[in-house]
Each structure stands twice: as C-alpha cells, then as structure tokens.
Amino acid sequence: MEYTVKDLGGGVAVLHLDGRLNMTSAARLREAVTSTVANGHPRIAVDLANVDFMDSSGLGALISGLKTARQAGGDLRIAAPSEQVKLVLQLTNMERVLLAHERAETAFSG
Amino acid sequence: MMMSRVDRGVGERGPVGFALLRVLVVATIVLGVNYVAWRWLFSLNWYAWWIAIPLVIAETYSLIDVALFGMTMWRARTRPRPPAPEAGLTVDVFITTYNEPIDMVADTARAARDIRYPHNTWILDDGARDDMRQAAAELGVGYISRGEEWKDRPLHAKAGNLNNALLATEGEFLLILDADQVPLPEILDNALGYFADPKVALVQTPQEFGNVATGDPLGSQAPLFYGPIQQGKDGWNAAFFCGSNALLRREALMQLGLTQYVREVERAVLVALRGADRVIARARRGTDANDVMVNAALDEIALAVDTARTSLKQGEPIARVTYDLQQQIDAVSHAMVSFDLHLLEMDLAAIRELDAGTGDQLDVLLDVDTTVDTLAMRQLSPLGALESVQALLRTIDVDRSDEAVPLMPLATISVTEDMATSMRLHGLGWKTVYHHELLAIGLAPEDLGTMLKQRLRWAQGTMQVMLRENPLVQRGMTWAQRLMYFSTMWSYLSGFAAVVYFTAPIVFLCFGVLPVDSNAAEFFARFLPFMIVNQLLFVVSSRGVSTWRGQQYSLALFPIWIRSVTSAVANVYFNRPLGFVVTSKTRQEGNQWGLVRVQLVLACLLVISTVIGVTRLVLGVGEPIGTLVNVAWVVFDLVVLSVLIPAARFRGFESNTQEVSA
C-alpha cells in the first residue's frame, strides 16, 4: 500500500491510500496517521477510493487512527469506500463509528 | 450390391495359416538374432566405427521392432461375434467437434441419431458455436459445450471436451465418434454385446475412410493396424483405444477418473509441502522483521505445515492431513482476527472515554463470535496479505482448484488422450476388445500437408505418453500388455534408424567406406534368410492386404518421426509447446513440395552417390560386389521415397460416380 498526504489547511489533511489495507500495510497506516497528527493535522480524511481490499487488521488501523485523532482533539473520517470495505464495516457494525463520506476533500466541510 | 462388411480385408485365419504364422515369427526372431549377433560380434568394421556403430544399432533397433511385431502376431485372431446386447442398456453417443464444418458434423449427428439401438446423441461442441447449437436442435440431438468452470483453466482439448460431457450425462455406455466418423445403424447392436463381460471397459472398432482415392496416395488407410495388429494386441488383452469409433463403459472411466484424482492430489500435496519452507521463508524476507503479527502468523503456518508433513510420513490419510492443516490455518486466521478486534475494542473504549457524555453511540460488535468467523473466512482473512503463502495453502487441499472439474477420466497427459487412457484402464485391470468390423466411415485428410500434421500429432502424442508414463514401468499391467504399448512407441523411433539406412550406402558409394567387415558370401548367408523370412512374415500377417504403402511411409516420413521425438522431449522435460494443430478435415491449397524438401534433397544425394559409385567402379577404385549391393540398396531407398511423389501431387479426392444399391 502507498499513501500521500495533502494539506487542506486549518488542521485538515487528506490521506490518500492506494492498494490493499491488510495485515502487512496496517502498521504503515497507523504511522501515517500518527505523523500527520503530530505535524499539526488532527483532522484527517482518509481517502479509500483506491483501496480494493481491507481486512480486520486494516480496520483495526483505521480505528486506532480514529483514537489518535480524537486524543489530539481532532477526528478521522473516511471517504469513498469500495464494496468490499463497506462489507467489512457493516459486518463489524463500524459503519456507525466511521461514517463514509462521498469525497475526502469535503469530509470536513459539511 | 454392398459387400458384407465383416468379411472384408483381413479374414479369418485357419489353423494351418495360424501355425504357419507362428513358425514364421519364431524363424524371423531366430534368424534375426543370428544375423544381428554376428554383426555385433564378428563383422563390425572398427576402422569406420562412425558409420559401423550407428548402422549396427539401427539394425538392432529393427530386430527389436520386428520381434515386438512377431509377439503381436502370435495371438492375432479374429474374435467370435459377441452375443446380442440385452435390451435396456443406456447409451450416450458423443460426437466431438471443435471447428469442423457444421454440415459435416450434422451428417454425422443424423447418422448417430439413427443408430438402431436406443440411445441419446450429443454434439460436444468445443467451438461453442451458435449455428452448431441450432443444427443440433433441428436434428433433435443434445448439445453440450464447456461451462463457466472451464474459464481461465486448462481446457485439455478433446480429452477435456469428453470429460466435460461425461459429467453432464448419465448413460452406462458411451460411443465416441469424431466429427467426421459417420456411424452405421447397427454399430451398437453389433458391438455392445461385449459388455456382458463386466470386466470389459472398451470396445474399439476400425477406422476407415470413405474419401480415399484409388491407390491411397496419402496412405490414409491402416489395414495392418486396424486388423492384425489390433487383433494381436487384443490377443494379449491390450487392444488400444484410438479416440473414435469406440465404446466405453462409464463406470470404468469414472473409476479411472477417481484413481487419477487421488494420484494427482497426492502428488500436488507432496510437492506443495516439500516447497512450503521455501515459500514461507520468502514471505518472511518480504515482510518487516519488526512486524510481530506477520511473523507470528508465519511461525504458526510453518508449524502447521511441518505437522502435516510428519503426519503424512506416518501414513495418515491425505484427506485427514489436509483437513487438519486447513483447520489449523483457519485457527491462525481466527486468532489474528480476534487479536485485531480485541485491539479495536480497546481503541473504541478509549474513544468512548474521550467522548464521555455524547451518548452510547459506539456500542458495536454486537456478536463478536459471528464477526470473527466472518472476517476469518478465506476471502477476508488477514492471511490474504501473504499471497504466495495463501496460494501454497490452497494447493495443499483436495479440491484441485487449478482444474475446471476435479475428475478427469480421459487422460490429459498427451495430445492423443486415447492411448494413455486405455493404458491406465489396463493398469486398473480392465479388459479391452478390438471388434474387427467396419461400423463407421470417416474422412481422411485430402492433402499432404494435413496428412503430415496428423501423423506428427499421433507420433507426438505417443511420445508424450512414453516419456510421461512409460508402459514398461507401469504397475498393474501384465508384461505382455506393457510390451504391446511399448511396441507402438518403439516403432515411432524409426526415424533415427531410417537416417542411418539412407546414409550408409551414400558413404560407401562416395568414399568406399564399408561398415560391414566380412566377405560377401558370409554376409548374404546371414542377412538374406532373415530378410526373406521377415518379408514373408509381413505377407502372411496381413493376409493379402498390401502393407507396402505403410512400410514406405514408415521410412519416408523419417523427418516427421524425428521431429515428434525432439518436440515431445522439449515439451515433457522443458515445457515447450508442441506446436500442436487440430487436423483439418478440409483440403489445404498450395504447393506441397516444400513439405518434403528433406526427402527430395536426400533422393538427389542418393542419385549423385550412385553416379559417383559407378564411376569409382569404372575407374577401378570401387569394389564390385560392395558397389552392386549398395546400388541395389539405393534403388530400394528411392522406391521407398517415391511414395511421396503421388502424395505431393495429389489434388484431393473426387468420388467415383458409382451406384450403390442397398
């Protein structure tokens, strides 16, 4: 999995993920969130448009990111999940914790 | 008036004829050993070893070839007629097609539908053509093509086509017909009776062609094979399956499919377990050394694989071992998901604390067990991250996910599935029958190019079987059966011997080098009796049917036979494609001479060397008797090669306007 960070200003950053969010990439996502928060962006929109697969480890990393963001007084929101990702969110009831937004860029402007 | 089909060609052999045949077999072998042993021990010209050794090896090859032929003839008898089949047997008639013209297949299908004994007719269309489907519907016969499960998996050509149809139908017996083999209405009535013997798995009937011109320029008919040779093999319970015009017992094929399935699974599992350590080690190198989760999972998998290996070695059944392994892997996956969700719960609790006061909105994971089960399933499992490992684990199972259907009754190890299939049937103890009566009339290739491709395919298929499942080491068959299969394979090696037989006279005539170190009288005293008895054996074996054309082709097509061996070796050991093509039933246009250019060059060399040899003789350099013998040899070679001239000039079959009254 690859990722890029885009600064939207006002403490908001978009985290574009590309690839599979699984056991081997979960740690990297966790680090990405931590460093983005540490760089002064406690409000993170995770763009899942290019994530075609997520397993329980990947989900765990998202929730752990949510915790990190909340502890810094911010939030973590997700955008554009694929069908498979939506399925995992539904199965775990996490769709109620991580509301899916249509576009990452507008996740914090609503 | 139509001639009775039963009495055609090779007829019944009387007791006197049969005794004579056996005397000739013994005489040929005794005189042959007498000659070849003398050649090895007393007449090798060591000064010209580079031609002497190849020649004596070629001669030994030919002796073994004729000895195997003699063994075949030892029991070449016509079977008594089988009893009439009992009523009520269920039969499926399969017509296999790939790209043949719709009209041709429809003709065959109509004749198949009109076979007298009750049956179901099916067109097995590997081309999945809409107009073929429509033609089948119009004729009122069944239509089967490959389903979704074959997508992106090996198709296995005709064998795969038949295997697919076997799983879609249910008759106790099958009649298999090539698209161009038009059956006679009595085919089932006359041949089904053999299955009254519950050990009979196969009844093969002859293949003959209705579109062969006078003189059979392309050597299409095989009266010696679909006659004395198959009868002789039948005498040793080794009649071959030849792909078409054959009846098969479904139960035998299914048993074959099951045995083969078990064998394949065992092999796949053993190979996968053997390579497992390497795959796991590679996965370990590919992951972050600090990634505790991944490394722990890999440890668990390595342990599970090790346990599986040990259990297999201790003789545990493969089904239990693979099941246990898959269970253990599932447990690993389960544990990982549980662990992930546990961390997730803790994170949620922390978040909930931060949000204290905003309500109970984060009350999730209502049913932890079900959630874990679902997330640990194969498609969602965290192990999916280790793709190579997961691919490995999939192989260590019994579902053969690499094949479209787990059961492959018709052998898929060769482009000629038939021979391998009957060999495996014999290995399981089934009997086969050769029924010597023409019950279907086919279409032969009508041009040299197509004919050569067909011969190449048969030879390649035979070589593939020899290299993959050498009959000499197959358990379950009698030695006679092994030798009968080996005999056919051995005869396809003749290309190498032919090169030597063509080269030796050229070497003598041009350079005066004689591979035989002997005087003429002694040579002829040993060679001629063998040669004469050998030819007599052919004449008596074939009972008046000319086999000369066949002998000519077996020598003249030497480049094809050599290519079949080299391409099969490259295919079996180095995974190269065979360059395989389906035989075309329609004529290919164009100049045919290029197809036999090697033989044309050879013929020129033979003529030139004769001129040189005669010149050497006139100049007093050449040795008279040697020159005479070698010129005679050249003449023989040229007569053999001459078979290719009418073949290359042949411009297709035109039916004679003859009236046939029923």
Mean pLDDT is highest, among B132-141, B261-270, B639-648, for: B132-141
pLDDT surpassing 50 at residue B10: no
Q: What are the boundaries of each domain within chain A? A: 2-106
Query: Of B326, B350, B385, which residue constitutes the final position of a domain?
Result: B385
- Residue B267 covered by a domain: no
CA B384 to chain centre: 39
Give a yes or no: residue B233 inside a domain: yes
pLDDT at residue B581 in the model: 47
Per-residue pLDDT at B335 = 86
> In the prediction, which pLDDT does B7 show?
40
Residue that is last in its domain, among B476, B505, B531: B476
pLDDT number for residue B357: 57
**Main-chain phi, psi angles of A46, to 5 degrees:** -95, 115
Tell me what pLDDT residue B534 has: 94
Residues 9..48 of A with a Cβ closer than 8 Å to B: which? Answer: 20, 22-27
User: What tokens does B429 get?
Assistant: 């103890």
User: Are B158 and B212 within one domain?
Assistant: yes
Q: Which of B195-204, B385-394, B551-560 has the lowest mean pLDDT?
A: B385-394
pLDDT band at B661 (very low <50, low <70, confident <90, very high): very low
pLDDT in the model for residue B504: 94
Predicted pLDDT of residue B486: 97
Residue B387 has what pLDDT? 72
pLDDT per position as a tens digit, B283-307: 888 776 667 778 888 888 889 888 8
- Mutation target for A interface from B301, B332, B380, B383: give the one with most A CBs within 10 A: B380
Instruction: Say whether pLDDT at B367 is over 90.
Output: no
Distance in Å, alpha carbon of B322 to nearest chain A alpha carbon? 25
Q: What pLDDT is attached to residue B436?
A: 95
Domain annotation covers residue B453: yes
A73-82, B24-33, B362-371, B593-602: least confidently modelled range:
B362-371
In CATH terms, the fold of domain A2-106 is Transcription Regulator spoIIAA (3.30.750)
Tell me the average pLDDT across B319-347.
85
Residue B142 maps to a domain: yes
Q: Which residue among B336, B354, B364 places its CB closest to the CB of A71?
A: B354
Output the average pLDDT for chain B.
87
Q: Which residue of A has its CA nearest to B350?
A: A67
All residues at 6 or more sequence positions from B249 whose CB lies less than 8 Å from its CB, including other chains: B172, B173, B195, B200, B201, B202, B430
CB pair distance less than 8 Å for B351 and A70: yes
Instruction: Confirm whether B269 is domain-assigned.
Output: no
Nearest residue to B90 via CA among B177, B191, B188: B188
Structure tokens at B316: 């545990």
> Contact, B253 vs B407, CB < 8 A?
no
In a shared domain, residues B574 and B524: yes
Does a structural domain hold residue B565?
yes
Residue B232 neighbours by CB distance under 10 Å: 25
Give one DSSP letter per residue of B644-662, joined into a string. HHHHHH-------------
Q: What is the ipTM of this complex?
A: 0.85
Domain count across chain B: 3
B641 plus B505 within the same structural domain = yes
Reference B350, options A59, A86, A25, A72; nearest CA is A72
Mean pLDDT of B554-579: 91
* CA B459/CA B415 separation, integer angstroms: 10
Residues B465 and B530 in one domain: no
CA B316, CA B238: separation in Å to the nearest integer? 36
Mean pLDDT throughout B175-202? Answer: 96
For chain A, give the mean pLDDT: 89
pLDDT at B366: 54
What percent of chain B is modeled with pLDDT above 70?
Answer: 92
Instruction: Tell me the C-alpha distance between B516 and B39, whole Å.
Output: 8
Residue in A23, A56, A67 nearest the CB of B351: A67
Using the predicted structure, report yes or no on whether residue B588 has a pLDDT greater than 50: yes
Instruction: Please tell me the predicted confidence (pLDDT) of residue B531.
Output: 93
For residue B9, what pLDDT band results from cuts at 50, 70 and 90? very low
* Rounded CA separation B489/B480 (Å): 14
Q: What is the pLDDT of residue B365?
A: 56
* Residues B95 and B180 grouped into a single domain: yes
Q: Among candidates B537, B458, B540, B535, which has minimal Cα distance to B222? A: B458
Q: What is the mean pLDDT of residues B482-501?
A: 95
CB contact under 8 A, A57 and B361: no
Reading phi first (left if > 0) and then psi (alpha if -120 to 50, else beta), residue B364 is in beta
* Confidence band of B134 (pLDDT split at 50, 70, 90): very high
Tell whether the torsion through CA atoms of B237, B243, B245 and B248 is positive or negative: positive
Contact yes or no for B460/B568 (Cβ under 8 A):
yes
Q: Is residue B240 part of a domain?
A: yes
The number of C-beta contacts closer than 8 angstroms across A and B is 93
Task: Identify the residue with better confidence: B345 or B483.
Answer: B483
Q: Is the pLDDT of residue B662 over 70?
A: no
pLDDT-based confidence at B272, cuts 50/70/90?
confident
| Residues in chain B closer than 8 A to A59 (CB atoms) | 340, 344
Give the model's confidence band at B586: pLDDT under 50 very low, under 70 low, under 90 confident, else very high: low
**CATH number where B455 lies:** 3.90.550.10
Determine how many CB atoms are found less than 10 A away from the CB of residue B157: 19
Range of the domain at B548: 5-71+488-649
Average pLDDT over residues B13-42: 93
Instruction: Indicate yes or no: CB of A23 within 8 angstroms of CB of B343.
Output: no
Give the rounded distance of the alpha carbon of B162 from its chain centre: 14
Instruction: Note the pLDDT of residue B204.
Output: 97
Task: Give the lowest-confidence range in B490-499, B541-550, B580-589.
Answer: B580-589
Q: Do B375 and A92 touch (CB under 8 A)?
A: yes
Query: How far apart are the C-alpha atoms of A108 and A33, rounded to whole Å?
Result: 16
Digit-coded pLDDT (tens) for B68-109: 999 999 999 889 999 999 999 999 999 999 999 999 999 999
With a cut of 60, say whether residue B1 has pLDDT above it.
no
At A34 the pLDDT is 93
Side by side, the strands of the sheet bearing A2-9 are A2-9, A12-21, A43-54, A75-79, A100-101
Non-local CB neighbours of B129 within 8 Å, separated by 6+ positions: B102
**Chain A residues closer than 8 Å to B371 by CB:** 91-93
Of B101-105, B213-217, B366-370, B380-384, least confident by mean pLDDT is B366-370
| Res A81: pLDDT | 94
Tell whether A63 lies on the interface with B, counting CB pairs under 8 A: yes
How close B198 comes to chain A (CA, Å)?
55
Asked whether residue B402 is domain-assigned, the answer is: no
Best mutation target among B285, B287, B334, B351 (most A Cβ atoms within 10 Å) is: B351
Q: Is the domain of B610 the same as that of B501? A: yes
CB contact under 8 A, A96 and B380: no
Q: What is the pLDDT of residues A39-79, one digit of tens each?
A: 999 999 999 999 989 988 899 899 999 989 988 888 999 99
A18-32, B194-208, B499-513, range with the lowest pLDDT:
A18-32
**Half-sphere exposure of residue B430: CA atoms within 13 angstroms, side-chain side:** 28
